[in-house]
């Protein structure tokens, strides 16, 4: 078998080593354009988990690497004259040049041929006689670009500027330095990789870069400038350059990784931002995955297909974590005014890989400090023994919630003529006694022709008012939960089938006339709505006001106006659905005119001591839809009009939208609105655990957390969460006999969880330390 590896970086060399060790008879040649001892950059980072993998696959190279690394357990965050250290991380740093030399030595010992200073033509015509060609030629891959029509790379050039430098400054932790200057904030991502050498990746936003005049400085002048910025942090040590040019990070994804017998690997196929230290790790784990595919399959074609299919999910997961991480650094101004404890917690949890419970296990003192910080923001909280953020109260006007957990609004499609029935009483009653602080109704429609489906609830007549009053009275009589009435109008998405019969699909018969901002059907075969005129607007405002008045009489504690998901009010906000040329279309101010008119009218009709929220779609997940800046401006407009909370959802505006799903996938939008529009927010969207809820709240990404499906599956979700954290929350007396059992179960679960400390404790793979004498 003849194998050509194009690119002599860590990934290419490691694959060559693994394959040659497994198939000694294979002819493997690595072609590298640079000299053997050339290197760019300074150190590379590996986690304990990655080192475990190296040990299993090639003990010889593993021992060589671990004999030359610097090990650290802590992450240190220096921000505004405070220092926070978080242990239990388990990372090592290694010189990139040393790593390459070690892998070159291992490859030669195994019989791999290394050809340096060899430029390969990207058409690969010279490799017709090879069975396999591995394109590991880096972030600027000539092979990928020469065949871009096939590989279909997508490049997202991120806005922040960064430069990769080194220093002689010793460090005993992976350390983040944040330096505030008259120009703006500079960030240094730093770690030691061998005695007397540390990596310094320095990053800043484009505006700060320009104000500092760095675009006019060469490499050496930039280093001297940054030595001044980080003079205290460098403690007299210099910054060292090695092609340390300012650049922007390219997030690269490729639709295909394989072309015939050619396969992309490492940065050639996709990148992950340096803030999670994953570039070299991904490349070497790619090498392992490709090697595993060859061990498992009988032919090159089968092996390459298996590699691409099996490896892609893990790579995309890492890239998603990197995306979330880099965005945190790009929007540092959102968090710069936070309490340093919250800032540090947000930094630690930015990529979603580390959570509140994870940190509580590894760094209990740090999390206890974060709990105290959060309690300090809550009137009446116990500062001596603060509860986790999820169990802290929230005050909104005259309403106080016992905790920050919310049962999200979820349509049941089970009403008849808008009338709630026994199903609704049981559904809402069960979740109220389950311990959540706030309970939302499903979207309750203000008129018969405002319904989404024939099964939607309404509040336009006395019978409906009586039915809702019964539900509200049960909630208040048997729990401490508060209940919020969500009012809405379906607009162009009305006259649809029940969810389980075809969500948003038009009724075959029995429909009713629809209205919207513009005469655009939701689906091509949906009913074309009538463009709402001003007389129609006045009629609908009156319907909202009438339903609001009824809701106040029912005793609801809070009111929400639904202005999301492509329904009537949302159809005015989005440029996808608002094509008007009058005073209600065009600019965002014009598109806000009708939604704000509805809100002001119902705010006036709603008791002044009861809070109100508005649900918005912060993005349409469509390139021509609402932008992040739009959603922040919309939130500011509602805040100015008197809103108390913005319920941040996304999408469902158009069937052409393309959401990017994942854990807590909508939380970043609530985060942006909260910290830029300066308004309380509630986040929703694939949040499934109390741990995630605590993580979101402690980091200041939202003020309330709403769960839908988890509460459907388990009405007592919050009672179990309280038992897990050892928190005593209100339960109805009928349930008290089960309380002790729940606590016993939680204690057992907690004991099992605590046992994981042994497994979670960082493993020293060798005697690698920063300084043997100090050790």
Catalytic residues: 567
CA 758 to chain centre: 29
* Those residues with Cβ within 8 angstroms of residue 91's Cβ, 6 or more apart along the chain or in another chain: 45, 46, 47, 48, 71, 72, 73, 174, 191, 277
> Taking each helix axis from N to C terminus, what angle separates 736-760 and 717-725, rounded to the nearest 10 degrees?
60
Q: What is the largest CA-CA distance in the chain?
A: 87
Three-state helix/strand/coil letters over 393-449: CEEECCEEECCCEEECCCCCCCCECCECCHHHHHHHHHHHCCCCCEEECCCEECCHH
* Those residues with Cβ within 8 angstroms of residue 346's Cβ, 6 or more apart along the chain or in another chain: 328, 335, 338, 699, 700, 701
Interatomic CA distance for residues 587 and 634, integer angstroms: 12
Strands 405-407 and 612-617: unpaired
Q: Is 260 helix (H, G, I), strand (E, B) or coil?
A: coil
Asked whether 643 and 614 are in contact (CB, 8 A), the reply is: yes
CA distances to 160, 326, 412, 562, 670 from 330, rounded to whole Å, are 6, 6, 40, 31, 16
Strands 482-488 and 438-440: parallel
**How many CB atoms are located within 10 Å of the residue 90 CB?**
21
Asked whether 223 and 244 are in contact (CB, 8 A), the reply is: yes
Q: What is the number of H-type helices and E-type strands within the chain?
A: 26, 30
Interatomic CA distance for residues 666 and 673, integer angstroms: 12
What tokens appear for 349 in the block? 């949890």
User: Which residue, among 203, 187, 191, 186, has the nearest Cα to 166 in the 3D structure?
Assistant: 191
Torsion sign, CA atoms 258, 259, 263, 267: negative
Q: Is 759 helix (H, G, I), strand (E, B) or coil?
A: helix
The β-bridge partners of 253 are 154, 270
């Amino acid at each position: 078998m003849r194998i050509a590896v194009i690119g002599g970086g860590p990934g290419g060399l490691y694959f060559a080593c693994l394959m040659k060790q497994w198939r000694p008879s294979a002819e493997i040649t690595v072609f590298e354009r640079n000299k053997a001892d050339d290197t760019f950059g300074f150190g590379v980072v590996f986690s304990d988990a990655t080192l475990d993998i190296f040990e299993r696959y090639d003990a010889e190279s593993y021992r060589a690497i671990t004999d030359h690394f610097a090990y650290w357990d802590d992450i240190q965050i220096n921000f505004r004259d405070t220092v926070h250290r978080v242990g239990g991380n388990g990372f090592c740093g290694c010189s990139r040049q040393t790593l390459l030399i070690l892998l070159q030595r291992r490859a030669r010992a195994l019989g791999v041929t290394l050809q340096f200073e060899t430029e390969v033509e990207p058409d690969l015509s010279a490799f017709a006689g090879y069975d396999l060609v591995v394109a590991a030629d880096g972030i600027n891959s000539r092979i990928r670009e020469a065949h871009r029509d096939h590989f279909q790379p997508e490049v997202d050039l991120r806005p922040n500027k960064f430069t990769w430098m080194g220093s002689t400054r010793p460090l005993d932790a992976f350390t983040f330095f944040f330096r505030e200057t008259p120009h703006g904030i500079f960030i240094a991502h730093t770690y030691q990789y061998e005695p007397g050498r540390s990596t310094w990746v320095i990053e800043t936003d484009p505006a700060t870069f320009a104000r500092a005049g760095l675009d006019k400085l060469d490499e050496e002048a930039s280093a001297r400038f940054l030595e001044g910025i980080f003079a205290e942090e460098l403690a007299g040590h210099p910054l060292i350059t090695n092609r340390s040019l300012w650049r922007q990070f390219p997030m690269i994804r490729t639709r295909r990784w394989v072309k015939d017998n050619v396969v992309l690997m490492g940065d050639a196929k996709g990148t992950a931002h340096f803030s999670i230290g994953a570039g070299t790790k991904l490349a070497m784990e790619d090498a392992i995955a490709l090697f595993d595919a060859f061990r498992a399959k009988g032919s090159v074609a089968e092996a390459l297909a298996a590699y691409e299919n099996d490896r892609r999910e893990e790579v995309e997961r890492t890239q998603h974590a990197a995306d979330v991480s880099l965005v945190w650094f790009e929007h540092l101004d959102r968090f710069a005014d936070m309490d340093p404890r919250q800032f540090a917690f947000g930094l630690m949890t930015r990529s979603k890989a580390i959570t509140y419970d994870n940190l509580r296990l590894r760094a209990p003192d740090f999390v206890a400090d974060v709990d105290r910080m959060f309690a300090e923001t809550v009137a009446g909280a116990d500062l001596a023994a603060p509860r986790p953020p999820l169990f802290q109260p929230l005050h909104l006007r005259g309403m106080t919630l016992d905790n920050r957990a919310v049962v999200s609004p979820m349509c049941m499609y089970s009403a008849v003529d808008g009338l709630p029935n026994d199903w609704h009483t049981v559904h809402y009653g069960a979740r109220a006694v389950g311990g959540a602080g706030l309970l939302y109704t499903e979207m309750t429609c203000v008129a018969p022709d405002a319904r989404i489906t024939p099964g939607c609830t309404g509040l336009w007549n006395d019978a409906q008012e009586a039915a809702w009053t019964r539900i509200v009275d049960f909630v208040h009589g048997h729990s401490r939960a508060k209940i919020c009435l969500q009012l809405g109008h379906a607009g162009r998405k009305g006259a649809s089938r029940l969810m389980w019969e075809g969500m948003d699909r038009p009724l075959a018969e029995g429909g009713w006339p629809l209205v919207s901002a513009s005469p655009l059907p939701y689906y091509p075969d949906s009913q074309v709505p009538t463009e709402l005129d001003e007389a129609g607007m006045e009629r609908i405002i009156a319907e909202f006001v009438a339903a609001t008045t009824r809701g106040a009489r029912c005793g609801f504690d809070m009111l929400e106006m639904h202005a999301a998901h492509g329904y009537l009010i949302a159809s005015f906000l989005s440029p996808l659905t608002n094509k008007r040329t009058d005073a209600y279309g065009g600019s965002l101010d014009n598109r806000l005119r009708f939604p704000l008119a509805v809100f002001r009218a119902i705010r006036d009709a709603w008791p002044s001591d009861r809070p109100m929220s508005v649900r918005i779609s912060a993005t349409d997940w469509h390139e021509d839809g609402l932008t992040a800046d739009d959603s922040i401006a919309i939130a500011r407009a509602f805040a100015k009009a008197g809103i108390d909370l913005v319920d941040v959802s996304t999408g469902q505006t158009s069937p052409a939208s393309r959401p990017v799903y994942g854990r807590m996938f909508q939380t970043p939008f609530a985060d942006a609105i909260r910290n830029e529009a300066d308004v309380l927010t509630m986040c929703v969207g694939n949040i499934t655990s109390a741990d995630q809820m605590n993580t979101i709240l402690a980091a200041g990404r939202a003020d309330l957390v709403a769960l839908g499906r988890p509460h459907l599956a388990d009405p007592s979700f919050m009672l179990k969460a309280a038992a897990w954290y050892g928190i005593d929350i209100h339960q109805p007396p009928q349930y008290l006999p089960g309380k002790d059992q729940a606590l016993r179960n939680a204690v057992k679960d907690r004991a099992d969880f605590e046992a994981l400390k042994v497994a979670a404790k960082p493993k020293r793979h060798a005697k690698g330390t920063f300084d043997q004498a100090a050790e």
